[in-house]
Amino acid sequence: MKGAREEILNNLRKQIPMETPALPEVIQGEWIRYANPVEQFANLIAGVGGSCQTVANRGEIQARLESYPEYRDAKRIYSQVSGIPSHFDLDAIDQPQDLEDLDFVIYPGQFAIAENGAVWVTDQGLKHRVIFFITQHLVLVVEKKDLLHTMHEAYARIEFQKPGFGLFISGPSKTADIEQSLVIGAHGCRSMQVYLVEG
């Protein structure tokens, strides 16, 4: 194994030096800015089969969720958002496979991106990252002040100092592998809602 590593690297080092342009600045730039980022974000989430609502405070979210029959009928809910109760203690679950029947996950997003309708979540303090993918329905809660314009602002905020998992999610899982017909709900969640909480 050591052999392959040395051989590949030595091969590359022996090659004729290539022209090396300097690494460009990618965070600062004349990037697009939206007059109404909330509207832009909501439109994009709707465009990829999700939904976005604005609420005055976190306390309102529970009532909004109650208006969905899927939520009212949900047998197993996991929430990491204060004010919305969980049905069980995630830390008490040993095997992620035991989460197969998860119906709803309500989780805080660190920030959201107006240009593409994506929300950044991480598994910091989360025992089973599979909840984002195995749940039937996903609800993400983001502070309105954390709505950014572009991915450049996003990556300016993200740090990967220690092991962990970070994820941009944009809409429910989907596939167009059968004749380019869009089907919502491939292997991951079948629905996704985002709640933007006013300052």
Partner 1 sequence: MNAPVHKEHAELASEFVNNRQRAKWHDSSLWFVRQKRDRQTQTIPEWEQLRSLASTIKQHTLAKLPYYLEEFERNATKMGAVVHWARDAEEHNRIVCDILKNYGAKKIVKSKSMLTEECHLNPFLEQNGIEVVDTDLGEWIVQLRHEPPSHIVMPAIHIKKQEISELFHEKLGTEEGNSDPTYLAREARYHLRQKFVQADAGITGVNFAVASTGGVVVCTNEGNADLGVSLPKLHIACMGIEKLIPRSEDLSVFTRLLGRSATGQPITAYTSHFHGPRPGCQLHIVIVDNGRSAIRASQDFQNSLNCIRCGACMNTCPVYRRSGGHSYSNVVPGPIGSILAPSQDPKSHGDLPFACTLCGSCSDVCPVKIDIHHQLLTWRRELAIKKIVPWTKRWSMSMASIVLKHPWVYSVGGKVARLALRVMPRWMIYNGLNAWGKQRDLPPAPKKSFRELYRQRGNSNGQESPSHKTNVSNGSKDLKG
Report CA-CA distances (Å) from 163 to 94, 111, 122, 159. Answer: 20, 20, 11, 11
The binding track of 1-40 with respect to partner 1, each residue x by CB under 8 A or -, is x--xx-xxx-xxx-xxxxxxxxxx-xx-xxxx--------
Assigned token pair, 101: 């029947």
Q: Which of 79, 81, 172, 195 touches partner 1 (CB under 8 A)?
A: 172
Q: Which is nearer to partner 1, 36 or 57 (CB)?
A: 36
Q: Which is nearer to partner 1, 26 or 57 (CB)?
A: 26
Which helix or strand (DSSP H or E) is residue 88 part of? none
Instruction: Write the DSSP symbol of residue 20.
Output: -
The binding track of 128-167 with respect to partner 1, each residue x by CB under 8 A or -, is xxx-xxx---------------xxx-xxx-x-x-xxxxxx
Q: Residue 68 Cβ, how far from partner 1 at the closest point, in Å? A: 20
Within 10 A of 52 (CB to CB), how many other CB atoms are there?
22
Strands 147-148 and 137-143: unpaired
Contact between 110 and partner 1 by CB under 8 A: the answer reads: no
Q: Which is nearer to partner 1, 64 or 76 (CB)?
A: 76
Tell me if 127 sits within 8 A of 93, measured CB to CB.
yes
Q: Which is nearer to partner 1, 37 or 172 (CB)?
A: 172
